């Protein structure tokens, strides 16, 4: 399993290397302490080249080294900052390579929440800073004000300045370890992978999740801005090239969202349209029925006009209706049929 430390034992001397993010990989101070105790060493040499990590883990390791029965020597190599410097303060003697740099600063964390939660977090950070000041003061003898000023400056100190201020006791010549440490740091700088020195008062896993989310959101915003810049730009403007896969993924996501939105709207409109179609179809059927009735009545009217009715004899008048009367009767029937 990956760890930010490793250890070995030889002739009573336990040697521990801390060359990564303290508290990283889900490995915490309790495992560090347990492993060092299992060495059965009477003396410890702790080689540190770390940009920092979880402050809580650093406090625990610092106290463990302070309470260790034998002599503890810390060798600061490469770029050592934050939680790494706190651990070194737990040693009886602190040595610093001539190729190393040393950084202390105020604690910080990432937080989300309302104003009360933010104020609570700020108070926790102040408490953590107070503990740091106490640890640095115990080693250097500097005043609280001087230490807080250094922490606020966030400035890398040279071996000479660190020794002058009392953070280290001795400057050593370049060693194989420090050379390797510097090579690793320089490689990270060249590849732009050098992380920011930081303190965590939150669980490491929680910080990792937030960092991942921030990275994803930053990438999304970057892609969105880049694609947006492609529209309405001047001919002389240069557009940053983006990965095809990233652009396609962004476009596909936007397309899916638009389809979902408009499919819903169209489905609502479609229901309205279908209702109108049914209504119109009913009207058309009604009109066709009326037209059929009109055609039928027109045919009856034409037939009635074409019929010739003889005038009845006088003696038959009482029993036979006159043609006019009959015609009037037919017209009444015809008129009644038109009442629909």
Could you tell me if residue 122 is inside a domain?
Answer: yes
**pLDDT value for 112:** 86
Is 263 a residue whose pLDDT tops 80? no
Q: Are 194 and 303 within one domain?
A: no
User: Is 242 inside a domain boundary?
Assistant: no
pTM (predicted TM-score) = 0.53
CATH of the domain at 134: 3.90.226.10
What's the pLDDT tens digit per position in 94-114? 999 999 999 999 988 888 889
Query: With bands split at pLDDT 50, 70 and 90, how would you rate the model's confidence at 195?
Result: very low
Q: Is residue 156 part of a domain?
A: yes
Domain membership flag for residue 30 = yes
Q: Which of 105, 86, 109, 129 is nearest to 200 (CA)?
A: 109
For the cut 90, the answer to whether the pLDDT of residue 35 exceeds it is: yes
283 plus 191 within the same structural domain: no
Mean pLDDT score, 237-248? 51
Number of domains making up the chain:
2
Position 203 scores a pLDDT of 41
Q: What is the mean pLDDT of residues 4-24?
A: 91
Angle between helices 323-337 and 244-306 (to 10 degrees): 170
The answer to which of 62-66, 161-165, 315-319 has the lowest mean pLDDT is 315-319
**Is 262 part of a structural domain of the chain?**
no
Same domain, 161 and 299: no
Q: What is the pLDDT of residue 164?
A: 96
Burial grade of 300 (CB within 10 A; 0-12, 13-18, 19 or more):
middle
pLDDT on residue 77: 92
What is the pLDDT confidence band of residue 208, given thresholds at 50, 70 and 90?
very low
Residues 182 and 298 in one domain: no
Are 32 and 169 in the same domain? Answer: yes
Q: Is residue 255 part of a domain?
A: no
C-alpha to C-alpha distance for 291 and 20, rounded to whole angstroms: 92
Q: Is 190 part of a structural domain of the chain?
A: yes
pLDDT category of residue 251 using cuts at 50, 70 and 90: low
Assess contact for 96 and 102: CB atoms under 8 A.
yes
Q: Are residues 42 and 163 in the same domain?
A: yes
Residue 164 sits in the same domain as residue 38: yes
Mean pLDDT value of segment 278-299: 76
Instruction: Pick the more confident residue, 287 or 69.
Output: 69
The confidence score (pLDDT) of residue 306 equals 76
Find the domain containing 9 and state its range. 5-202
Q: Which of these ranges, 47-61, 116-130, 264-278, 301-315, has the smallest mean pLDDT?
A: 264-278
Claim to verify: residue 105 and residue 187 sit in the same structural domain: yes
Q: What is the pLDDT of residue 224?
A: 60
Burial class (CB in 10 A: 0-12, 13-18, 19+), 184: middle
Structure confidence at residue 277 (pLDDT): 65
Is residue 88's pLDDT more than 60? yes
Is 277 a member of any domain?
Answer: yes
Share of the chain above pLDDT 90, in %: 42
Per-residue pLDDT, averaged over 205-216, amounts to 47
Q: What is the predicted pLDDT for the residue at 103?
A: 95
Whether the predicted pLDDT of 217 surpasses 90:
no
Output the average pLDDT for the chain. 75
Q: Where are the beta strands (DSSP E) in the chain?
A: 5-10, 13-18, 43-48, 53-54, 72-76, 79-81, 93-97, 101-103, 170-172, 199-200
**306 and 173 housed in the same domain:** no
Q: Is the pLDDT assigned to residue 194 strictly greater than 60?
A: no
pLDDT: is 133 or 333 the higher one? Answer: 133
User: Rounded to an integer, what distance in angstroms lies between the CA atom of residue 212 and that of residue 232?
Assistant: 33
Domain termination site, one of 171, 202, 233: 202
Q: Distance between CA atoms of 124 and 105, rounded to whole angstroms?
A: 16
Calculate mean pLDDT across residues 248-253.
Answer: 64
Q: Decide which of 181 and 40 is more confident.
A: 40
Question: Are residues 293 and 155 located together in one domain of the fold?
Answer: no
Q: In this structure, what token pair is assigned to residue 283?
A: 């009207």
Q: Among residues 156, 174, 202, which one ends one of the domains?
A: 202
* Domain identity same for 195 and 296: no
Same domain, 57 and 158: yes
Considering 152, 184, 202, which residue would you say is the last residue of a domain? 202
pLDDT score of 304: 77
- Looking at residue 332, what is its pLDDT? 58
């Amino acid at each position: 399993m990956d760890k930010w430390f490793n250890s070995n034992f030889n002739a009573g001397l336990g040697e521990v290397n801390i060359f990564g993010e303290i508290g990283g990989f889900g490995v915490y101070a309790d495992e560090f302490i347990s492993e060092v105790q299992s060495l059965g060493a009477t003396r410890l040499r702790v080689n540190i080249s770390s940009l920092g990590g979880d402050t809580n883990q650093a406090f625990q390791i610092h106290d463990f080294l302070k309470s260790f029965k034998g002599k503890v020597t810390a060798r600061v190599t490469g770029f050592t900052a934050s939680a790494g410097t706190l651990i070194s303060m737990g040693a009886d003697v602190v040595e610093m390579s001539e190729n190393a740099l040393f950084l202390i600063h105020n604690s910080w964390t990432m937080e989300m929440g309302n104003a009360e939660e933010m104020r609570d977090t700020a108070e926790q950070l102040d408490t953590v800073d107070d503990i740091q000041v106490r640890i640095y003061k115990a080693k250097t003898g500097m005043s609280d004000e001087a230490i807080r000023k250094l922490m606020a400056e966030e400035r890398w100190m040279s071996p000479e300045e660190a020794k002058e201020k009392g953070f280290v006791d001795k400057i050593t010549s370049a060693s194989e370890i420090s050379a390797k440490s510097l090579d690793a740091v320089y490689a990270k700088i060249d590849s732009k992978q050098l992380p920011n020195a930081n303190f965590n008062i939150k669980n490491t896993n929680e910080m990792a999740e937030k960092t991942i989310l921030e990275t994803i959101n930053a990438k999304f915003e970057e892609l969105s801005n880049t694609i947006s810049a492609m529209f309405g730009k001047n001919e002389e403007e240069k557009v940053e090239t983006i990965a095809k896969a990233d652009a396609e993924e962004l476009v596909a996501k936007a397309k899916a969202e638009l389809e979902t939105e408009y499919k819903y709207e169209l489905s609502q409109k479609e229901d309205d349209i279908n209702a109108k179609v049914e209504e119109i179809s009913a009207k058309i059927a009604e009109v066709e029925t009326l037209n059929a009735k009109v055609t039928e009545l027109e045919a009856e009217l034409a037939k009635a006009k074409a019929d010739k009715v003889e005038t009845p004899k006088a003696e038959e008048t009482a029993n036979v209706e006159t043609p006019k009367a009959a015609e009037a009767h037919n017209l009444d029937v015809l008129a009644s049929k038109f009442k629909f």
